[in-house]
């Protein structure tokens, strides 16, 4: 019938190569999940020494880095707690396990520079960038985010086999979980994460899927054209108050 066929023509279709890559990654996660007999995205937030949770930290210590050290809490310093080290902020938690595995728990997309430092302290050669954005009027006149530039990593991505060894994506949507195995990172490679930092909650967000790069050079942020009718060339500047990519420290 015509109306169904017309609607069918509106269906977005993924490029075949992208479809196959996503399918293989999903298969790997299924096989892993079947072996564990539970969904890999089910994870428990680490409970800190002294029974602190990130919620308690958020209530008592605002957004400053809070690090655990046995029963006490020492803001602003890295320290160990038993066999693992945990760095907590109101937005994210980075926990290094005794076997060197690094778990990244994201509750919000914020403080990319701090996240980069925490990961590097745990032995992950990480590059974390914020995606510059502007707010514009969208559906029903609600504000939506629009990136002014986009990080292009396609030419610098490590092979899929390396991605699989280094990175396990437990859950991509917030609250997100990424598990990194730094020992599996090839020499000179880097883990790249990028997201919009602190946009208004109702305006949405764009976060790139974490990838392992073959080198530790931060990808260029390529300006994105505003495709709305009557709009001019892209605005490559970051939103006021947000860190531009160049303002963030480059990976060591």
Nearer to other proteins, 7 or 154 (CB): 7
Q: If DSSP codes are grouped into helix, strand and coil, which group holds residue 70?
A: coil
Which token pair is 130?
Answer: 């914020």
Beginning with the edge strand found earlier in the chain, give each strand of the sheet holding 190-195 in spatial order. 126-130, 190-195, 211-213
Shortest reach from residue 230's CB to other proteins, in Å: 13
The structure tokens listed for 33 are 């999940």
Among residues 1 and 240, whose Cβ is nearest to other proteins? 1
Rg (CA), the chain: 20
Q: How far is the CB of 8 from other proteins (least distance, A)?
A: 5
For 11-160, list the strands marked E by DSSP: 66-69, 72-75, 85-88, 92-96, 102-106, 126-130, 133-137, 143-147, 149-151
Show Cβ contacts of residue 110 under 8 Å, excluding neighbours closer than 6 positions.
63, 89, 90, 91, 92, 197, 198
CB of 201 to other proteins, least distance (A): 10
Q: Which of residues 2-41 bind other proteins (CB under 8 A)?
A: 2-14, 18-19, 22-23, 25-27, 29-31, 33-34, 38-41
The residue (of 22 and 74) whose beta carbon lies closer to other proteins is: 22
Nearest distance in Å: CB 33, other proteins = 4
Q: Which is nearer to other proteins, 150 or 217 (CB)?
A: 150
How would you classify the pairing of strands 85-88 and 92-96? antiparallel
Give the number of residues in contact with other proteins, rule: CB under 8 A.
Answer: 43
Residue ranges in 114-173 that form contacts with other proteins under rule CB under 8 A: 138-139, 144, 169, 171-173
Instruction: Say how far apart CA 196 and CA 243 lie, in whole Å.
Output: 10
Binding pattern for the stretch 43-82 against other proteins, x by CB under 8 A and - elsewhere: ----------------------------------------
* CB of residue 232 to other proteins, shortest distance in Å: 17
- Does an H or E element contain 179, and which? strand 176-180
3-class DSSP assignment, residue 75: strand
- Of 6 and 232, CB closest to other proteins: 6
- Residues in 189-228 that interact with other proteins by CB under 8 A: 204, 206-207, 209, 227-228
Q: Which residues bind other proteins (CB under 8 A)?
A: 1-14, 18-19, 22-23, 25-27, 29-31, 33-34, 38-41, 138-139, 144, 169, 171-173, 204, 206-207, 209, 227-228
């Amino acid at each position: 019938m015509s109306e169904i066929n017309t609607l069918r023509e509106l269906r977005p279709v993924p490029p075949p190569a992208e479809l196959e890559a996503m399918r293989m990654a999903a298969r790997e996660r299924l096989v892993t999940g079947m072996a564990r007999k539970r969904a890999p995205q089910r994870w428990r937030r680490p409970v800190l020494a002294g029974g602190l949770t990130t919620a308690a930290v958020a209530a008592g210590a605002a957004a400053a880095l809070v690090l655990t050290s046995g029963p006490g809490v020492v803001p602003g310093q890295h320290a160990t707690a038993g066999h693992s080290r945990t760095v907590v902020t109101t937005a994210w938690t980075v926990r290094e396990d005794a076997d060197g595995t690094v778990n990244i728990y994201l509750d919000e997309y914020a403080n990319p520079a701090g996240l980069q430092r925490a990961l590097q302290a745990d032995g992950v050669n990480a590059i974390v960038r914020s995606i510059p954005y502007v707010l514009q009027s969208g559906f029903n006149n609600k504000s939506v985010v629009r990136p002014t530039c986009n990080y292009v990593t396609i030419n610098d991505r490590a092979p899929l086999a390396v991605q699989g060894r280094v990175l396990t994506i437990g859950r991509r949507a917030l609250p997100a979980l990424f598990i990194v195995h730094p020992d599996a990172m090839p020499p000179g490679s880097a883990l790249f994460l990028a997201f919009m930092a602190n946009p208004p909650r109702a305006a949405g967000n764009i976060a790139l899927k974490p990838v392992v790069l073959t080198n530790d050079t931060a990808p260029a942020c390529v300006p994105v054209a505003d495709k709305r009718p009557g709009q001019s060339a892209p605005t490559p500047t970051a939103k006021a108050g947000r860190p531009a990519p160049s303002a963030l420290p480059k990976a060591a």
